[in-house]
Amino acid sequence: MLDLTGKNALVTGIANNRSIAWGIAQQLHKAGANIGISYLPDERGKMENKVAELVKPLNPSLFVPCNVQSDEQIKEMFEEVASKWGKLDILIHCLAFANKEDLTGGFSNTSRAGFNQALEISTYSLTQLSGAAKPLMTEGGSIVTLTYLGGVRAIPNYNVMGVAKAGLEMSVRYLAAELGEQNIRVNGISAGPIRTLASSAVGGILDMIHHVEKIAPLRRTVTQLEVGNAAAFLCSDLASGITGQILYVDAGYEIMGM
């Protein structure tokens, strides 16, 4: 039985009720995990209020701001984890960003600043957060990130984010190789296209979803909760022998040729 009772789980990347991170947080909570939430702060506090209201049913014991472009905020977030929890068992990384103009047109037109920002937020942040979580995972742990098929195949209107996801998937393998000695497992979930705030920046997202519904073996795309179920599994003892893997949760679309 999937049971996360007594596990402390820090979830990043919830923006609204369509976020995949929200689906993951719900399923971790359902399995008994003690939930902590990080949110992206803004000057007006709009995101803080929105996320705080959304996650109320999960009764999070930790609610902290964190912009992963700030070393200081990352440090403060994990100091809060150490102070309130003492240890961390689960880290969910659902962070990605690229400028909209770098997701359209020719990939060779990607700006230097846009390239660096996309890889800093979408790729490097996993390495940085994992390094900060490592000392707190004293009893082992599980780190799960989100990726997409665009990291291994060329997808229209994905451009620099595809490069970021490719780097993210390779980061999963290197982190798994490093952290395995401490019984910390690192895996990624490659989810099928889902309508989220992040995916809305990708041109033709509805066309992508309809295409998957026609081609995928299950003749549909997937839901946030289905991705959440997979994440809960990877974070549980049922997946104790799995690390360094990319698990496709995409209704089987990845296996198809023509």
The confidence score (pLDDT) of residue 258 equals: 72
The confidence score (pLDDT) of residue 195 equals: 65
Categorize the per-residue pLDDT at 92 as very low, low, confident or very high, splitting at 50, 70 and 90: very high
User: Which of 95-104, 130-139, 182-191 comes out lowest in average pLDDT?
Assistant: 95-104
Question: What ranges make up the beta strands (E) of 15-140?
Answer: 34-39, 62-65, 90-93
Inform me whether the pLDDT recorded for 200 exceeds 60: no
Average pLDDT, stretch 199-226?
83
Structural domains of the chain, with CATH: 8-248 (3.40.50.720)
Categorize the per-residue pLDDT at 196 as very low, low, confident or very high, splitting at 50, 70 and 90: low
Neighbours of 149 (CB within 10 A): 22
The confidence score (pLDDT) of residue 207 equals: 82
Q: Which structure tokens are listed for 248?
A: 């496709």
User: Which residues are catalytic, by number?
Assistant: 148, 158
- Mean residue pLDDT of the chain comes to 94
Q: What is the pLDDT of residues 166-189, one digit of tens each?
A: 999 999 999 999 999 999 999 999
Name the residue among 52, 30, 58 with its Cα closest to residue 231: 30
CA of 188: how far to CAs of 105, 106, 147, 165, 248, in Å?
28, 28, 6, 10, 9
How, if at all, do strands 8-11 and 141-147 pair?
Answer: unpaired
Beta bridge partners of 37: 11, 63
Average pLDDT, stretch 206-216?
88
Q: What is the pLDDT of residues 18-30, one digit of tens each?
A: 999 999 999 999 9
pTM: 0.95
Categorize the per-residue pLDDT at 203 as very low, low, confident or very high, splitting at 50, 70 and 90: low
